[in-house]
Amino acid sequence: MIDQRIYEMFREIGEDLYTAQMISSHGGNLSIRLGDRVIIKRRGAQLGRLKPHDLIETRLDKNDSGVALASTELLVHRAIYMNTPALAVCHCHPRIAVAFSLSRDELVPVDNEGSYLLKKIPVVTEEFASGTPQMANKVAEALKNYKVIMLRGHGSFATGQTLDEAFLWSSCLEESCQIELATKIINEPFIEYRGMSDSYKKF
| Residue 80 Cβ vs another protein, minimum distance, rounded to whole Å | 10
Q: Which residues of this chain interact with another protein, rule CB under 8 A?
A: 3, 5, 32-36, 83-85, 87, 113, 116-117, 119, 143-147, 160-162, 164-165, 168-169, 195-196, 199, 202-203
| Residue 163 Cβ vs another protein, minimum distance, rounded to whole Å | 9
| Residue 99 Cβ vs another protein, minimum distance, rounded to whole Å | 25
**What is the rounded radius of gyration, in angstroms, for the C-alpha atoms of the chain?**
17
Judged by beta carbon, residue 36 or residue 192, the one nearer another protein is: 36
Judged by beta carbon, residue 151 or residue 166, the one nearer another protein is: 166
Judged by beta carbon, residue 20 or residue 168, the one nearer another protein is: 168
In angstroms, rounded to a whole number, what is the distance separating the alpha carbons of residues 33 and 40? 9
| Residue 185 Cβ vs another protein, minimum distance, rounded to whole Å | 28
Judged by beta carbon, residue 46 or residue 114, the one nearer another protein is: 114
Judged by beta carbon, residue 46 or residue 123, the one nearer another protein is: 123
In angstroms, rounded to a whole number, what is the distance separating the alpha carbons of residues 9 and 6? 5
Judged by beta carbon, residue 3 or residue 105, the one nearer another protein is: 3
Other residues' Cβ atoms within 10 Å of the Cβ of residue 192: 8
| Residue 143 Cβ vs another protein, minimum distance, rounded to whole Å | 8
Element (H, E) at 116: helix 112-117
Count of alpha carbons within 13 angstroms of residue 149, beta-carbon side: 21
Please choose, from the candidates 130, 37, 139, 141, the residue with its C-alpha nearest in 3D space to the C-alpha of residue 90: 139
| Residue 124 Cβ vs another protein, minimum distance, rounded to whole Å | 14
* 3-class DSSP state of 158: strand
DSSP strand pairing (29-34 vs 88-92): antiparallel
* CA angle (37 as vertex; 144, 32 as ends), nearest 5: 55
Other residues' Cβ atoms within 10 Å of the Cβ of residue 17: 25
